[in-house]
Structure formats: C-alpha cells, structure tokens
Structure 1
Amino acid sequence: MARPRNAATDAAILDATRAALVELGWSGLSMADVASRAGVAKTTLYRRWPGKSELVVDAVATVFDSLELPDLGNLRDDLEGVVLSFGALLERPETSAALLAVVGEAATDPALQQRLRATVVDRQKHLVVTGRARAQARGELPPDAADTAETARVVDLLFDVIAGAVVHRCLISGGSVDRQWAARFAALLLGGLAAMEATAQPNGE
C-alpha cells in the first residue's frame, strides 16, 4: 500500500516551484532544481507529479485556493472584496510569474490547457456560485431559472468577466487593483448583471 503524502513536503515542493519560476521562468525550471530547492529527492517529486506541467499547474492552483469570497452583507461589497483580494494575490511575484508561465505554455499545449482549466479555473468558479446564491437569498438577484444549462452559462460568463478583468488589469496593462478601481468595476458589472440575469428567466426569452 502506498504511503500517505506528507502535506509539509508537498507545500515545500510547491513553494520551491513558484520560487524557481520567478528566478528561471518556464524554460529554465527543471524537476531536479525544484527537488534541490525543496530539499527532497527527485524520486519524491516524481511520485507526486509525473512532469513539469502537472507540477506547475498545481503550484498555481494552490495559490488560488487561498482566495475566499467575503460575506459583507451585500453583493456590491462582496464583489469589491474578492476583486481586491484577487488583485493582491496577483501582485505577488510568485503568483504572477507562475500564472504567466503556465498560461503562456498552455497556449500551445492542449493537454496543459485542459489541466489548467480543471485544476484552477473550474475550482475557482465556486466563488461565483457562492456569491450568486448569497445575493439571491438577500433578494438582490432573481432565483435561478429552471434551465440548469443556462445557470452554468451565467456562472461561466461571470467568472470569465471578473477573472479576465482583474488579470488583464494586473498582468497586462500593469495597473493596480485598488479600492477605487474595484468600486468602479463592481458598479459596471452590477449594472449589467441585473439585465443579464433577467435574460436567463423564462419571461426574458
């Protein structure tokens, strides 16, 4: 029977992976270097991850797993809060370097792109699901339509808009996600969200 994984060892390896990406980039990173930085044998690394792609995606996913949606009593404040937290996360060099590296590599690697979507993107959509459910319970948004496929499309679109805007702001345009920007973004999004949610209702067809 396989021995259980050691959480401290996993954390050391993922920390070492992100540090290596900051210093060396994707092309310079090697499994041997990560093992050396983490103080483990290469065999330990390969027992956990079959290759560099899987390792780097998990290093990215672990960072984003720390992102939480605050419960501040209303949708606007919740949205501003998570946008500010997301922006702060992307300002960390180890986060931005790891994300840019894996996204750039995934552009020409369909298998890596699929793993990135499943491990990072799909896992973080729970933030949108939670935010909508809270807003619906408060009466700020209408309840979900009976069409579950339409609900999934709404969640996907909201995630793309929020994540895309913050990533572009931080990593492409080089701007900061401060409280003023988050407030303006929330106002813009919520102004359109009411109309979009209405189209998902039966009488909005």
Structure 2
Amino acid sequence: MAATRAALVELGWSKLTLGDVATRAGVAKTTLYRRWAGKNELVVDAVAELFDELRVPDRGSLAADIEGVVLQFAAILARPEARSGLMAVVAESTRDDALRERIRASIVERQKRLVLEGRARAQARGELPPEEDPEEAARTVDLIFDVVAGAVVHRTLVSAQPADENWVRGFTRVLVTGLISLAGRPQEHQTGAAADSPPAPGNRAATDSPPAPERKAANSPSGA
C-alpha cells in the first residue's frame, strides 16, 4: 500500500501502473493482480488504509472529541500521499461509476464508524439523547459524516487553507450547535442561569400577574 501511494505522488494517476507499484514493492505484478483487478481498486484501497488510522479520542466532551478527530483528519489530508491519492480517485470517479462505488464502500461507509462511536459516547454521557427511529438515526449519521468530511476536504484540498486549531474550534462550535438543535435539546449557554431564575420584581409579564380582585357592583336603589 505504501508503495502505491509513493508511486502515485511521484507519477500521478495517469502514469501510474501496477508494474510501477510491483517494482517499488519488490513483488511480481501477478501478485498484485491476484488481489486487485486493476489500478482503480489498488489505489482506492491504498488511500482507504490511511483513513483507517483515524480514532475518536475520549477527551471528556462531545465538542472536544470532535475537535480531536477533525484535527487528525486534517493532519492526514496534509500528507502528500493522502492529498494526491484522494484527489486522484475522486477526479477519476466522475467518469467511472464502479470506482465511485468502491470509494463509497471502502472509504465513506467504512469511516462512518467514527460518527457512530462518537455519537454513542455522547449519548452515554447524556450530551445527546438516544434516537428511537433507526432510519432517522442512519440519516443523521450520513448527515454528520457529509458535513465533517465535506468541510475539511474543502478547507484543506479545495481552498488550500489550513485546518488549524482555531478553524477546527470554530467549525466544532457550529457543528455541535447543529447537533443539539437537531436532537431537539436547547444548549446550556442559550438557556443559561438567567433562564432558570425567577423573573426580577417588576419584570413579570402581564400574563403571569395574579388576577385583579373582582369589584362588587354597588346595590343601587330601584327607581320608581
């Protein structure tokens, strides 16, 4: 796998052959063909292996966990082998449906494990409520993955800007706000102590005021 990534960085997608990879790896080309049908499958698996390094660190809170995994993701994308490999297979997949499906199965679906693990941990801490509808839960996982992967890939590979700690912190704040909103639970900093305290005297809404006592009508004498 390392030989494949090194050859891709040096030669580029169009010039890369299984023969180049076999030479670098010190194996016969037939050895590669016994495992991979061609270049597409080999390169996707070589890129996918990089993202298998990702872990969800237990940093004590949902926000801190997200920051940790996003920083790892950005660090991997900063490596020439990951950058060249991912951009090459994504570009090629626009013309190859089978390659797109392999990317989805080998990279996208495989790395959704990170979302599942992080969400389960946040639910165990009580930061997110459990989701009772399995279909809705699956859609939420897809959405979270798309938001994180899309934002980090765009930031680092398309915009060529650093996903440093400041950017990751801001991104995480936006993401966590969305997750809590999606779960239907208000954020603590939005409710705050003021929301839990009784209203100050004189600020009680009219609807909260006690009803005024009824005034009894005076008995007027009947006229002639």
TM-score by length of 2: 0.81
The offset of 1:197, in angstroms, is 2.1
Q: Is 1:67 matched up with 2:54?
A: yes
The offset of 1:191, in angstroms, is 1.0
Output the aligned Cα RMSD: 1.0
TM-score by length of 1: 0.88
- Whole-angstrom CA distance in 2 between matches of 1:195 and 1:42: 53
Which residue of structure 1 aligns with residue 158 of structure 2? 172
1:1-205 equivalences in 2 (<5 Å) = 14-145=1-132, 147-198=133-184
Q: Higher helix proportion, which one?
A: 1
Which residue of structure 1 aligns with residue 206 of structure 2? none
Q: Which has the higher contact order (CA 8 A, sep 6+)?
A: 1
- Deviating above 3 A after TM superposition, structure 1's stretches of 4 or more consecutive aligned residues are none
User: Structure 1: any 5+ residue segments left out of the alignment?
Assistant: 1-13, 200-205
The offset of 1:157, in angstroms, is 0.2
Q: After superposition, give the CA deviation of every residue in 1:82-133 in whole Å (9 maximum; x if it has no partner).
A: 0100000000000000000001001111111001100010000010001111
How many percent identity over aligned positions? 61
One-letter identity of the residue aligned with 2:120: A
Equivalenced residues, count = 185
Q: After superposition, give the CA deviation of every residue in 1:37-77 in whole Å (9 maximum; x if it has no partner).
A: 11111111111111001100100111100111101110000
